[in-house]
Amino acid sequence: MRLLIDSASLWYRAFYGMPDNFHSKEGEPVNAIKGFYEGLATLVQRYRPTEIGICLDGQWRPSWRVALFPGYKLNRVDANEEEEEPDLLTPQIEPLLQLAELAGLEIIGADDYEADDVIATLALASKVPVRVATGDRDLFQLLQYSDDLRIIYLAKGITSHDLVDRDYVSNKYLIPAERYALYAAIRGDASDGLPGIRGIGEKGAAAIVSQFSSFNQIIEAAKNESPLLKPLHRKKILEDLDYALIAEKLVHCATDVPLPEHNLSAWQDKSDLIAFRKLGKDLGLGSTVEKTIAALDLQ
């Protein structure tokens, strides 16, 4: 099994979910690091992967997505500029990734692509079943590509996560699961600064996606006054035609990312157990170090 970790998703949840009283020998906060490796160890012990990829953003606002829609994630830029409290997470990322390297884990990113795109590319190229650990619903769209793919959805936490398959998506959103990306493109996503088709919410998006499998079909139906579209939906789509023309490409994960050379199954051969233990001790990770070593079966 190939386990792909949406690393930022996991470390953000660790940072906000773990108490802030964990510190390194130098007195620096390490709650995100500790929570990340506690979570990783739990997932590895549960799913027993033979391949592991730690996936990163090469660019969290890729230039090609911003060129399509300048407002893409612009809300997050504005929020960062207004931030007044000290950033206690960013300094933890470098040692967190250093630990991953010492454990022999493959860290994979690509210039001008998000982790979602890296994950999608690795998922489609896999010759074994795939599990994707993320708190991001955008990756539900990957279910369309394989019967052997599941999303380990972390919204409820590591231990009580949902294992999302096509039936989960169909039952929750009342749509064909393979059309989740289209549904998301119509509905929009405030967290990414994406408005969707203005005036069409979740129920409207689900009704449209139940009838059509692409934006091209939807636009043609709107222009031709198809009875398969409600008059209000036709009106809203035609009013927001510029967005409708780019939304599908904007929301879809890229599946052809040029990735660096990688070997997702060789972590035990590449690990440096002595250095891993030393850094873990310096970071004050306590039992998390041995738990991670045991889960990864490091020698």
DSSP state letters, 148-211: TEEEEEGGG-STT-EEE-HHHHHHHHSS-GGGHHHHHHHH-BGGGTB--STT--HHHHHHHHTT
Token digits for 86? 């000290």
Task: Round to whole Å and give the CA distance between 126 and 2.
Answer: 7
In terms of Cβ atoms closer than 10 Å to its own Cβ (0-12, 13-18, 19+), residue 71 is exposed
pLDDT score at 79: 59
Beta strands (DSSP E) in the chain are: 2-6, 51-55, 106-108, 130-134, 149-153, 162-164
Question: What residues does CATH 3.40.50.1010 cover in the chain?
Answer: 2-174+254-296
| Cβ–Cβ under 8 Å, residues 137 and 164 | no
3-state secondary structure of 6: strand
Q: Give residue 61's Cα distance to chain centre.
A: 14
Token digits for 132? 């994707």
Contacts of 3 (CB under 8 A, 6+ apart): 43, 44, 47, 49, 51, 52, 53, 130, 131, 133
Strand partners, 3: 52, 131
Contacts of 212 (CB under 8 A, 6+ apart): 182, 218, 221, 228
Residue 72 backbone phi and psi in degrees, to 5: -60, 115
The neighbour count for residue 113, using CB atoms within 10 Å, is 24
| Cβ–Cβ under 8 Å, residues 10 and 31 | no
- Candidates 3.40.50.11540, 3.20.20.70, 3.30.365.10, 3.40.50.1010; correct CATH number of 2-174+254-296? 3.40.50.1010
Please check whether the domain covering 177-251 is classified as CATH 1.10.150.20. yes
pLDDT score at 299: 79
Residue 23 backbone phi and psi in degrees, to 5: -140, 155
3-state secondary structure of 23: strand
Q: What's this model's pTM, rounded to 2 decimal places?
A: 0.95
pLDDT score at 82: 53
Residue spans of the chain under pLDDT 70: 78-86
3-state secondary structure of 81: helix
Question: What residues does CATH 1.10.150.20 cover in the chain?
Answer: 177-251
pLDDT score at 86: 66
Query: DSSP state, 259?
Result: P
Token digits for 148? 């052997």
pLDDT score at 76: 82
